[in-house]
Amino acid sequence: MKSLRTLTTLPNIMSGLRLALAPVMLVSAVTGRKSWFIAIFVLSLLTDTFDGFFARRFHQSSRFGTLLDSLADGAMYISIPVCVWFLWPHIIFREIYYIVLMAVFYAASMIAG
C-alpha cells in the first residue's frame, strides 16, 4: 500500500481538489449562482493547468496521480456542460451542433484509447 506521503503530494492534492469541486460547481449552477460557478470553474482550470507541471517539476508523478488526474478531469468536463445548461441554456441551443460534434469526437477518442 502506498504511504500517505506518496499520496499527499501537491499534484495529487490539486487533482483531488478539482475532483471535489465538480459537485460544488454543479450545486452553484443549479442554484443559479453564476459568480460562484465562474470562480470555481477558474479554480478548477488552474488546478488542471498546474498539477501536471508540479508533478513533473518536483518528480511526483505516479500511477495513482495519473488516475486521480483523469478522474478529476472527467468530473470537471462532464460537469461543465451541465452547469452551462442550467445557467445559460440559450448557449446550448445556439451551439448544439458543435457540442454534439465535440462529444462524438471525445467519445471516439476514449473508445480508441
* 73: its cell numbers: 478531469
How does pLDDT run across 8-24, given as a tens digit for each residue? 899 999 999 999 999 99
* 60: its cell numbers: 511526483
Q: Is 62 helix (H, G, I), strand (E, B) or coil?
A: coil
Residue 17's alpha-carbon distances to 9, 66, 68, 98, in angstroms, are 12, 14, 10, 30
* Entry pTM: 0.81
How does pLDDT run across 38-70, given as a tens digit for each residue? 999 999 999 999 999 999 999 999 999 999 999
